[in-house]
């Protein structure tokens, strides 16, 4: 079965003209840009099987706890079907982020990167207050809307406090991005609010074309997020210090 056939088979009929987006490299996850003919908007449908089906369900549960928030990607639908052959396939429909991801904005100037840091801190503060640890804060997982405002996305590696389904998973189950993850995550410890704060700082410092163009205070603040987990500031403090 081709990917297009898979989309046609599992996605509901009002999601028309699925067009495959360049992949994530995973064979168990496909992304399609579609037209939602009910709401008259473009959306992105993520279709996963196997391990990707499980991470899409985690993502759906996380997003359900967090909606609505101006800096968290909005979800519109989720569902599952048995594909031909009986395999369970999960699909998740999210808003289209017209500005792409921060991975395409490496080299952005300091004022822009600072605004993104503040918006990302606000999104993480909101998530942490709702018992959601993102677990994989990296440039490709931070999207931008049409006005270049941050939309935190890809909660497939999230840890949900008090969630029976995800609580039993071994720490090593949670995905992470080796070059950018906090040292404790690379030792396969489970994601924490502190490891998210590390991800925020490594993401912003990577995107920011010139660290030295950041004010000395901002630079110190972001660098303090890369130190010992117990001494990292919380997302709430970061959001307050970076606002304005
Ligand atoms: N809603 C969206 N709008 C626009 N582009 C998107 C959207 N969702 C995803 N993308 C694009 O697809 C890429 C991968 O998306 P996402 O991070 O959600 O999938 P994935 O779960 O990372 O897969 P992996 O498990 O490999 O990390 C993003 O970096 C972005 O470029
Ligand atoms: Mg991703």
Detail the DSSP E strand segments found in 50-117.
75-82, 88-95
Q: Cα(44)–Cα(93) distance, rounded to whole angstroms?
A: 6
pLDDT at 43: 98
pLDDT at 175: 76
Q: Mean pLDDT by 10-residue block, N- to C-terminus, for the chain (244 residues)?
A: 73 94 86 96 96 96 97 97 92 98 96 97 98 97 98 96 69 72 94 98 95 93 97 98 90
The percent helix, strand, coil of the chain (3-state, each to 5) is 40, 20, 40
Name the phi and psi angles at 96, rounded to 5: -80, 130
Q: Of all atoms in ligand 1, which is nearest to the CA of residue 44?
A: 1
Q: Cα(36)–Cα(17) distance, rounded to whole angstroms?
A: 9
> Which CATH architecture does the domain made up of 102-242 adopt?
Orthogonal Bundle (1.10)
Name the phi and psi angles at 122, rounded to 5: -65, -40
Which CATH number is 7-95's, of 3.30.200.20, 3.40.47.10, 3.40.190.10, 3.40.50.170? 3.30.200.20
Ligand 1 binding pocket (C-beta < 6 A) is 21, 24, 26, 29, 31, 44, 73, 94, 96-97, 100-101, 140-141, 143, 153-154, 156
**C-alpha dihedral sign at 48, 51, 57, 60:** negative
Residues designated catalytic: 136
Q: Do the Cβ atoms of 160 and 166 come closer than 8 Å?
A: yes
Domain residue spans of the chain = 7-95, 102-242
**Radius of gyration in angstroms for the set of CA atoms belonging to the chain, rounded to a whole number:** 18
Strand 159-160 and strand 132-133: pairing? antiparallel
* CA–centroid distance, residue 24 to ligand 1 (Å): 7
pLDDT at 105: 97
* CA–centroid distance, residue 17 to ligand 2 (Å): 23
Q: Cα(106)–Cα(22) distance, rounded to whole angstroms?
A: 19
- To test the pocket of ligand 1, the residue of 59, 140, 157 to mutate (highest count of ligand atoms within 8 Å of its CB) is 140
Q: Do the Cβ atoms of 99 and 179 come closer than 8 Å?
A: no
pLDDT at 1: 62
Name the phi and psi angles at 75, rounded to 5: -105, 140
C-beta atoms surrounding 242 within 10 Å: 21
Name the phi and psi angles at 109, rounded to 5: -70, 160
pLDDT at 155: 97
């Amino acid at each position: 079965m081709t990917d297009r056939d898979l989309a046609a088979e599992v996605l509901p009929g009002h999601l028309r003209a699925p067009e495959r987006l360049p992949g994530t490299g995973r064979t168990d996850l496909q992304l399609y840009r579609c037209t939602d003919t009910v709401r008259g908007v473009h959306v992105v449908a993520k279709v996963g099987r196997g391990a990707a089906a499980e991470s899409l369900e985690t993502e759906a549960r996380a997003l359900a706890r967090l909606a609505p928030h101006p800096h968290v990607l909005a979800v519109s639908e989720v569902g599952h079907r048995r594909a031909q052959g009986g395999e369970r396939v999960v699909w998740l429909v999210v808003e289209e982020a017209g500005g792409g991801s921060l991975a395409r904005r490496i080299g952005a100037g300091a004022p822009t990167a600072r605004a993104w840091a503040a918006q990302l801190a606000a999104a993480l503060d909101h998530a942490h207050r709702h018992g959601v640890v993102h677990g994989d804060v990296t440039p490709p997982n931070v999207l931008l809307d049409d006005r270049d405002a941050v939309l935190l996305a890809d909660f497939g590696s999230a840890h949900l406090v008090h969630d029976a389904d995800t609580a039993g998973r071994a720490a090593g189950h949670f995905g992470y991005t080796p070059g950018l993850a906090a040292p404790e995550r690379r030792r396969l410890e489970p994601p924490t609010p502190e490891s998210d704060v590390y991800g925020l700082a490594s993401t912003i410092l990577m995107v920011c074309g010139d660290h030295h163009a950041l004010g000395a205070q901002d630079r110190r603040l972001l660098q303090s997020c890369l130190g010992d987990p117990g001494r990292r500031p919380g997302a709430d403090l970061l959001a307050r210090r970076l606002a304005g």
